[in-house]
Amino acid sequence: MSPRARVLVVSTGAVRPLPWRGRTVATGIGKTPVHGPVDVGASGLTGDEQADREHHGGPGKAVLVYPVEHYRTWAEEIGDLVPPAFGENLTTSGLLETDTAIGSVYAAGTAVLQVTWPRRPCYKLSAHHGIADLAVRTQRTGRTGFYCRVLLPGRLGAGSDVELLHRPDHGITVAEVHRVVNVDRADHAAARHLLDHPELLPSSWVGLLTKRLTGRLDDQGARLHG
């Protein structure tokens, strides 16, 4: 984390239909910035909606964070994007996946957030931008963003400082979990290391990694391509 991490943009959105490969899908990825402080509780930000409650939302995915630093890199590859182009609730500076440890606790405004898991990109990101391989590229580059649970409800807004309250000793970062779960799926040694800390992972990922160690590789096609 940088010496002064901050929330730059706070965004929420309603579920809307989106065309994708000849059908219509429902998604809350199309968010817009909110002016002024927003209440944040165990279910997320007031006014925010998710269409797929199985894979989005819930206590472990209450708030989606995306580093503003990635926007500069994306601009070089696909053109300028304006936050919250990746469907994030909080666009931040000073919080990168490579530096942020799973389980870290931060104060943002009067709320307290705990980092849970990296975001697993899905095809709705591609549909939102009309770029067929954007979910795949987001996954490959590791510019995914990450989720937080809300330990203490409060209010936050654009300009709120983000203060590190606790960083776990295990040192496992968001980027490392993303790499092992989504990209380097044959890295059994790293998978075993993550499985030594099952409390850091959702139960479905524990099952996924355990199966990989027996040689059963999961199919990512439906998530990435729809």
* 97 occurs within a structural domain: yes
Least confident of 2-6, 66-70, 84-88, 147-151: 2-6
- Whether 93 is in a domain gets the answer yes
Query: Whole-model pTM?
Result: 0.96
Q: Domain span at residue 39?
A: 5-170
Would 216 be classed as within a structural domain?
no
Return d(Cα 114, Cα 108) in angstroms, integer: 10
User: In Å, what is the CA distance from 165 to each residue of 1, 103, 134, 180?
Assistant: 12, 11, 34, 27
Q: Which of 91, 62, 87, 65 is nearest to 152 (CA)?
A: 62
Query: Does residue 55 fall inside a structural domain?
Result: yes
d(CA 121, CA 140): 10
Q: Which amino acid is at 136?
A: V
Can you tell me which residue has the tokens 């490959």? 140
**Total structural domains within the chain:** 1
Q: Which two tokens stand for residue 217?
A: 């590789």
- Residue ranges in 39-186 assigned as alpha helix (H): 69-78, 123-129, 134-141, 174-178
Could you tell me if residue 213 is inside a domain? no
CB 127 within 8 A of CB 25: yes
Task: List the one residue out of 14, 200, 44 whose CA is nearest residue 111.
Answer: 44
Task: For residue range 80-138, list pLDDT tens digits in order.
Answer: 999 999 999 999 999 999 999 999 999 999 999 999 999 999 999 999 999 999 999 99
| Mean pLDDT (whole number) for 33-45 | 96
Instruction: Specify burial of residue 217 (Cβ count, 10 A radius: 0-12, 13-18, 19+).
Output: exposed
Residue 189 resides in a domain: no
Specify whether the CB–CB gap between 16 and 22 falls below 8 A: no
Q: Give the per-residue pLDDT at 55.
A: 60
Q: Dig out the tokens for 195 from the structure.
A: 């499985």
- Gyration radius of the chain over CA positions: 17
Q: pLDDT (tens digit, 9 = 90+) per residue, 158-196?
A: 999 999 999 999 999 999 999 999 999 999 999 999 999
Query: Could you tell me the two tokens for 206?
Result: 């524990």
Q: Is residue 181 part of a domain?
A: no
**The residue to which tokens 């943009």 are assigned:** 9
Closest CA to 11 of 174, 156, 164, 161: 156
Phi, psi angles (nearest 5°) of residue 134: -65, -35
CATH number of the domain residue 98 falls in: 2.40.33.20
Q: Is 195 within a domain?
A: no
